[in-house]
Structure 1
């Protein structure tokens, strides 16, 4: 073999080896490089985005997130969950949706901080082929499904708990203060509607404001109501959730009064106030059934399966569009049945019955 021939053979072998190595490298890169088309497709088929609205309410980080993530992993072991929390900022959540779109998630579970304001972001996600599941709050836009509770019924339970606690003082002239949730949350409107359905005509709604789901704001509103109505003229207080009820209870204590007070979410602090007698009732919404149904629908959508056996009813957006939905029942909790949350495993006795509340627990039969 002369020098010219040897150079040609060696050159041909080098080119062949380079092509082979490049092919091997590309195959491996498809598994690792999410920037490649194949990688992005793989990621989109295995990644579920989870966006929660805020972290001021303890439920989202303590219950919703871990429960949803655990159920997704159970149903789809090789799926991943990409999580972010808006920390109460609608603009931040809109950016988080854009990030999920850029990452190419296959399905997005969205608990909207502003259900109307997020509409264009939902549309943008759907335009990119991402299925959106509205969680807890019904976001506007082309969502595929919605999972929550019968929120108007929750308002009815709250209203009835307040009337029951007021007893014979629940008369058409009795002044009731209503501190509602954030108007940007559609659930707040449904809680309010349900409560009014029960309370209107039976008591007088003498002062009604939004507490924006913040204990500090609710405390300020309660103080304003006390100033306006007079502390001796308040027969009951409707608070849309336990977080705000905490601020309201502080304002009431400062004024030296203790009228019946509602709440929602069965937070530890709310349950402890119920045991101590500074809050009358809360609403227990078992988080696991809500989280499990949401995860099941999300995985079904990811895998192209029918989810209608889970979403067995419909809910109507403010636009009038009906969305496949799963609406779960809730339970009114008073001092008489605080044990329910312990029996369900939401909290342990030790978490509720700390030293400060041990005597109150014993009096309520929590041993």
Structure 2
């Protein structure tokens, strides 16, 4: 995987403008004068290496920054908040010139950001918005509300309540659906949930979708740290408590592929996936290769593809502008209020992936090879 992402990134760095649908931040610059001499260092803090997505993000950001001429200090925090705090403290002490941070807990880094501000170090919040601090300078991410809309839409499409063009489908229900959300310490989880629920709620109100467990709030549905094992346990509990009367689950809203795989394990252990007890329609996010193979095999219905190569490119573009003393280009200056300030943001678009468009979205764009899709393993 590392080889593919680094090669694709290096080859595609110059395509940031066209790929992102606009000029992007700092597109007319090539970094600060000192960057080519390797005396400008960017600290990059990523949350974990337990997800292939974050490994790819770290590799891509590092490769792009080095291609632009910067030194890079890349650290992974292994999903441990104190570790991430200590790593960022160390980067500040070492005198990095800019920080790019994908936070584990978006509320836990205020003191680190204050120290960065005092040292004259600007901060780019990467994919997950850092909250509760006025010292966040820029945010790069995807349109996270729309990601939730896409998850809700793909669930309804899979159930037959909607057609792919958004028109009413031929199915009428009622369908039993259970709801999962991401980790509440990740600001994106709320956006995903709101987008999905705004899409699904009219069908709940009409009785076409029934949440049989009655667990319809984000607090009830949240999975701490997005952990697969936690999602599996919750699905097992739901099956025991709400489906012990012979009824079946028809659909599951899942916000992330790892959570989806935990849900799938629980369902398979309960006998789902057979002719008389088919697997429910299950959504996901991040197009992780293991889940792409599950979609090919008809086990998982959909995922949301967020091309993190483009996200990394946009982070590098913003970093170049900021290190040149310029304002990075934002395409959203109203949405992302972190509780202290509205953080200017550059948002990218995402795509729904089902078995019908895997080749078009993932193989033809060289995100994965056909062999990787066939085996479910990244090379």
| TM-score (normalised: structure 1) | 0.80
* Unaligned runs of at least 5 residues, structure 1: 1-41, 357-367
2:323 matched to which residue of 1? 302
Q: Distance in 2 between matches of 1:294 and 1:217?
A: 31
Answering whether residue 109 of structure 2 is matched by residue 118 of structure 1, we say yes
- Of 329, 333, 347, the residue aligned with 1:327 is 347
Q: Higher helix proportion, which one?
A: 1
Residues 1:355 and 1:173: Cα distance change in structure 2 (over 3 Å)? closer
1:154 matched to which residue of 2? 147
| TM-score (normalised: structure 2) | 0.78
1:99 matched to which residue of 2? 90
- The 3-state SS of whatever aligns with 2:202 is coil
Q: What whole-Å deviation, never above 9, does each CA across 1:100-153 have from its counterpart, x for those lacking one?
A: 110010100000100012122212211211100000011122111100000010
Of 319-328 and 272-281, deviating more is: 319-328
1:185 matched to which residue of 2? 186
Matches within 5 A, 1:270-309: 270-308=291-329
Q: Distance in 2 between matches of 1:171 and 1:103?
A: 61
> Which of structure 1's runs of 4+ aligned residues deviate more than 4 A?
42-45, 168-173
Q: Distance in 1 between matches of 2:270 and 2:261?
A: 15
- Of 219, 223, 235, the residue aligned with 2:236 is 223
- The 3-state SS of whatever aligns with 1:292 is helix
CA contact (8 A) 1:44 1:104 kept: no
1:35 matched to which residue of 2? none
Root-mean-square deviation over aligned CA pairs: 2.1
1:344 matched to which residue of 2? 365
1:172 Cα deviation from its structure 2 partner: 7.5
Of 103-112 and 248-257, deviating more is: 248-257
Matches within 5 A, 1:240-255: 240-255=255-270
Answering whether residue 210 of structure 2 is matched by residue 204 of structure 1, we say yes
Select the structure of larger CA radius of gyration: 1
Point out which structure has higher relative CO (alpha carbons under 8 A, 6+ apart). Answer: 2
Of 272-281 and 299-308, deviating more is: 299-308
CA contact (8 A) 1:179 1:221 kept: no
CA contact (8 A) 2:126 2:140 kept: yes
1:267 Cα deviation from its structure 2 partner: 0.5
CA contact (8 A) 1:43 1:104 kept: no
Q: Distance in 1 between matches of 2:327 and 2:182?
A: 35
CA contact (8 A) 1:44 1:105 kept: no
Answering whether residue 332 of structure 2 is matched by residue 317 of structure 1, we say no
1:173 Cα deviation from its structure 2 partner: 4.8
CA contact (8 A) 1:109 1:134 kept: yes
Residues 1:194 and 1:320: Cα distance change in structure 2 (over 3 Å)? farther
Answering whether residue 49 of structure 2 is matched by residue 55 of structure 1, we say yes
Q: Distance in 2 between matches of 1:179 and 1:225?
A: 11
1:198 Cα deviation from its structure 2 partner: 0.6
1:132 matched to which residue of 2? 123
CA contact (8 A) 1:150 1:329 kept: yes
CA contact (8 A) 2:336 2:345 kept: no
1:259 matched to which residue of 2? 280
1:270 Cα deviation from its structure 2 partner: 0.7
Q: Distance in 1 between matches of 2:109 and 2:37?
A: 24
Q: Distance in 1 between matches of 2:369 and 2:310?
A: 19
Q: What whole-Å deviation, never above 9, does each CA across 1:271-319 have from its counterpart, x for those lacking one?
A: 11111111000000011111001011112212323322xx232242231
Residues 1:189 and 1:43: Cα distance change in structure 2 (over 3 Å)? farther
CA contact (8 A) 2:142 2:348 kept: yes
2:167 matched to which residue of 1? none
2:276 matched to which residue of 1? none
* Unaligned runs of at least 5 residues, structure 2: 1-35, 162-169, 204-208, 273-278
- The 3-state SS of whatever aligns with 1:313 is coil
